[in-house]
Amino acid sequence: MINESNPLDQNSSQDETQFLPPDFSLKKIIGQDIDIKQIFSAENIAKAQNVINEQKGEFIQWVKQDIDLLDAEYKKAEVDIENCTQYIKEIARLAAVTKSQAGTFGYALGTAVAKLLERFCNENPTMGKDKLTVIRKHIDTLKVIFAKNIEGDGGELGMELFDNLNKLVEKYR
């Protein structure tokens, strides 16, 4: 399981904190007089988990489409390396989408790899072919994770994959 001491979740303290005002739209839908204990009852949590479980198959299709989009943006950046900033920004955005969805559906390794890719792109909006190779490795790793349906942190194999990516990122940082 991924936690603060797990290398899959390293550098989490480097994330920028952003203040977002509370969103009360759910409260408007379900009613102002609903108690939080009712929302988070065992029955409602089980219902929510069932919805997530039912959508897991659809998620795999969504994430594969997102990875195809990552791949397409990478290829554009590779061809137009002098003007790759716009493609790198889009790769970062798609990685953020993948990161959040993978976590919801129990793919912690996918989340960690996408988070590492997002951070790398945000730190390196312009890059040469050597840094583009780092992006290629992340995309290939995401393809493997979801093609092989590697849930959770992927065990020893997952740790090894992530450690290798992390070393590659550090080399080109």
- Supply the pLDDT for residue 153: 93
Tell me the domain boundaries of the chain.
58-173
54, pLDDT greater than 90: no
Provide the mean pLDDT of the chain.
84
Q: What pLDDT score does 56 carry? A: 74
pLDDT given for residue 30 in this prediction: 67
Length of the chain (residues): 173
The confidence score (pLDDT) of residue 77 equals 94
Percent of all residues in the chain with a pLDDT value above 90, rounded to a whole number: 50
Query: What tokens does 3 get?
Result: 């936690």
Read off the pLDDT band of 14 (50, 70, 90).
low
Report the topology of domain 58-173.
Four Helix Bundle (Hemerythrin (Met), subunit A) (1.20.120)
Residue range 1-11: mean pLDDT, rounded: 45
Residue 159 has pLDDT above 50, yes or no: yes
Question: Average pLDDT for residues 60-65, to the nearest whole number?
Answer: 91
Dihedral of CA 153/154/159/162: which sign?
negative
Asked whether the predicted pLDDT for residue 132 surpasses 80, the reply is yes
Q: Residue 96, exposed/middle/buried by CB under 10 A (0-12, 13-18, 19+)?
A: middle
Contacts 24+ apart (CB under 8 A), 97-106: 97/66, 98/63, 98/66, 98/67, 98/70, 98/142, 101/59, 101/62, 101/63, 101/66, 102/63, 104/52, 104/59, 105/52, 105/55, 105/56, 105/59, 106/56, 106/151, 106/152
Please determine, for residue 13, whether its predicted confidence score (pLDDT) is greater than 60: no
Q: What percent of the chain has pLDDT over 70?
A: 85
Give pLDDT tens digits for 82-131: 889 999 999 999 999 999 889 888 899 999 999 999 999 999 888 788 88
For residue 11, name the pLDDT band (cuts at 50, 70, 90). very low
pTM above 0.85, yes or no: no
